[in-house]
Structure 1
Amino acid sequence: MKSCIALLTFCLAFNSYGQILSPSGVSPNLLNFVASSHELLETYAAEAEKAFLVVEPEETVDITTDYWDTSKLKVIYDTEIKFPIHLQFNETNYVSPISKNKVITSRYGWRRGRAHKGIDIDLATGDSLFAMFDGVVRFANYSSGHGSSVVVRHFNGLETAYAHLSKLGVKENDSVNAGAYLGKGGTSGNARGSHLHLEMSYMGININPEYLIDFTDENQIRSQEIWITKDWTRPELHNSKQQSDLDLLTLKSQAIAAAKKPKKVYVVKSGDTLSRISSRNHISIAALCKLNKINKNATLKIGQKLVVI
């Protein structure tokens, strides 16, 4: 920039000098030099105009207008959500919510007879927690069961919830960048040992976090375009002790086809129990009962057909 300014000053001086000289008293070489310096001046002036041009920032989307409730961890939506859900990410990576290796101790799925709507990541009480994406803090308070929690709404409509904190580091309506400090992990609420309970939801519907992002050290978002079917929002179809098989849907046509996919059917054999069938087919007993409209104490008959997804 300094050299550009110096050159402009030099050219301006010569340009002015050339304007006051009489052509008859100046050598042709000097006249040619003055003419070329004038052309050079015009070129650099145009470049300088571009360099100093102020670009107005794009208008930021206001994500705090619809269903913005800072008093509750869960927002009640009075609108019907149509599946498949289309979710878009501008990023290819996220910021890890903790500063060490992410060890998942419990997954999204059916656990101890009830739905576990997030994943648990091991940490020590006092470990710092960080926002995974840019967004605005919708909730930062104590919530029964979840304990001290922070919910951040992101610009694609996704919300991430960080539960069981020992200390809050933000407040409602705070704007945060990816990697911003949110608080410290702990055991508040209904927690068995210190861990981060992480939930992801869209318009109040919880989504299996492992379908959206990879929890390895790569910190990758699985796809910038992703379609979510009902199967990835139903904990009873997943086992909290093991990761579900991933069939990533990046096109709407794929999601529609997956929703229409024929169900897998299991034929009951001698000696079968609901526990054995659920274990063999990687599906919870609760899901088996719900899909087939039977009681968990129901007597199975040889040859009976059960939908196992």
Structure 2
Amino acid sequence: MISAQEIIETKEKVPVDHKKLIFQGDIIYLPIYPNNIVSSNNELLSRDLGVKNKEEFNAKWDNQRFNPYWDESLSFPFQLTFHDTNFSSPVTRKMVVTSRYGWRRGRPHQGIDIDLQTGDSVRSILDGKVRYVGYHGGHGNTVIVRHYNGLESVYAHLSKTLVKENDEIKKGNAIGKGGVTGNARGSHLHLEVRYHGKSINPEYLFEFTTDTKIRSDVLFVTRKWATPRFHRSTRKSKIVIHKSIDDITVFEEQQKKIYTVKKGDTLHRIANRHGLAVSEICKTNSIKYNTVLKIGQQIIIN
């Protein structure tokens, strides 16, 4: 004989609806139970995404190399999915970005610099697992955390590290102390975000303000947002989020400009002036590297 309590428990475990989510290009349907029978939506989502993305999360897990993806070619655009709406500030004081992702003093700056004082606590921006702890060239003392969507966050110039490889951590957990180790001009946190070894402009993913918002639960990263030479470290790039492939297509069409060739112009000079690669101009205009430009000729600049 089934008791009344058993009937209630059975009924409560039947989902009343499903929530549709897009993750890594696949559709996931998460059950919604009555009376909040599941402890929390975030906990359920974390568990489901963790299972779905387990293979990618564990791929090339390497505690010795800064970038285990060095021999991998990444195709653009690629999709990133977040189950949180906010990230944790990596510093305990007000976030002040002193140098941005982009071209800096003739070299690519692969992350952003955030002001702090030596000894200040540095915290993980998202839940994850520590993949690398060590001294790495110009980064100095460095901690790398891999997150459950495949993204990795890099914390450099630390005076002290507080975690070890393979530690599981929550966002907001302290992972080190700020410092000036490595190639650093004054105390600051150098923060990078990477996907399969490729750096991404952190400000494309995160709002480094007091709101600490993740810009979108689903977004697509184009080559522009993973290439420092398209940006300048001295100014914030205009952020346009791509939430779908259609967004990218519409944006690129809107960005097309017609440039009229002037005396002294070469493909290399035009490319440098517009922050483009010569190969991109050639592909867009169906011309070759050695094409001789004519004064008055019009070419499309993407």
Alignment TM-score, normalising by the size of structure 2: 0.72
Question: Equivalents in 2 of 1:164, 1:253: separation in Å?
Answer: 40
Q: Is the aligned partner of 1:153 residue 2:146?
A: yes
Distance, in Å, in 1 between the alignment partners of 2:195 and 2:211 is 24
Alpha-carbon spacing, 1:75–1:265, altered in 2? closer, same or farther (3 Å): farther
Matched AA of 1:207:
I
Aligned counterparts of 2:77 and 2:198: Cα–Cα separation in 1: 12
Structure showing greater radius of gyration is 1
Pair 1:262–1:47, CA change in 2 (3 A): closer
1:72 aligns with 2:58: no
Identity of aligned residues (%): 44
Aligned equivalent of 1:186, options 156, 179, 189: 179
Give the distance between the partners of 1:217 and 1:44, measured in 2 at CA: 47
Out of 60, 74, 79, the position equivalent to 1:81 is: 74
1:172 is aligned to: 165
Which residue type is aligned with residue 244 of structure 1? S
* 8 A Cα contact 2:97 2:115, kept in partner: yes
Deviations 1:197-238 (A, max 9, x none): 000111111110000010010000011111111111111110
2:113 aligned partner: 120
Matches of 1:149 and 1:108, distance apart in 2: 18
Deviations 1:79-102 (A, max 9, x none): 432221100000000000001111
Could you tell me which residue of structure 2 aligns to residue 16 of structure 1? Answer: none
Of the candidates 86, 89, 101, which is equivalent to residue 94 of structure 2?
101
Q: Which stretches in structure 2 are left out of the alignment for 5+ residues?
A: 13-34, 283-292
Match for 1:110: what amino acid? W
Residue 54 (structure 1) shift: 10
Query: How far apart in 1 are the matches of 2:170 and 2:151?
Result: 15
> 1:220 corresponds to which residue?
213
Amino acid at match of 1:198: L
Shift of 1:75: 2.1
Contact 1:164–1:195 (Cα < 8 Å) also in 2 = yes
Following superposition, the deviation at residue 241 of structure 1 comes to: 0.6
AA in 1 matched with 2:60: Y
CA-based RMSD of the aligned residues comes to 3.6
Q: Which amino acid in the other structure matches residue 194 of structure 1?
A: S
Assess if the C-alpha contact under 8 Å between 1:67 and 1:77 holds in 2. Answer: no
Say whether residues 1:138 and 2:131 are aligned partners: yes
Determine the C-alpha separation between the residues in 1 that align with 2:187 and 2:295.
Answer: 45
CA distance in 2, matches of 1:64, 1:233: 20
**Cα distance between partner residues in 1 of 2:232 and 2:209:** 19
Q: Quick one: structure 1 residues 290 and 164, their matched pair in 2 at CA, closer, same or farther if it must change by over 3 Å?
A: farther
What's the offset of the Cα at 1:270? 8.8
Taking a change above 3 Å as real, the CA distance of residues 306 and 192 of structure 1, as seen in their structure-2 partners, is farther
Between stretches 137-146 and 245-254, larger displacement belongs to 245-254
Counterpart check, 1:162 vs 2:155: yes
Aligned residues: 256
Secondary structure, aligned partner of 2:132:
strand
Distance 1:257 1:48, change over 3 A: closer
Task: Name the residue aligned to 2:223.
Answer: 230
**Structure 1 residue 256: deviation in Å?**
3.9
Aligned-residue offset at 1:248: 0.9
Deviation at 1:278, TM superposition (A): 10
Residue by residue, what CA displacement relative to the aligned partner does 1:10-51 show, whole Å, maximum 9, x if unpaired?
A: xxxxxxxxxxxxxxxxxxxxxxxxxxxxxxxx6567558979
Write 1 or 2 for the structure with the bigger share of strand: 2
1:35 corresponding residue in structure 2:
none
8 Å CA contact retained: 1:288, 1:308: no
CA distance in 2, matches of 1:245, 1:77: 29
Cα 1:68–1:134 shift into 2, 3 Å: same
Query: Aligned with 2:114: secondary structure?
Result: strand
Q: In structure 2, how many angstroms separate the alpha carbons of the residues matched to 1:197 and 1:147? A: 10
Instruction: State the alpha-carbon separation in 2 of the partners of residues 229 and 289 from structure 1.
Output: 18
| Paired residue secondary structure (2:246) | helix
Task: Give the residue type in structure 1 aligned to 2:198.
Answer: I
1:253 to 237, 246, 252: 246
Aligned partners of 1:44 and 1:163: how far apart in 2? 55
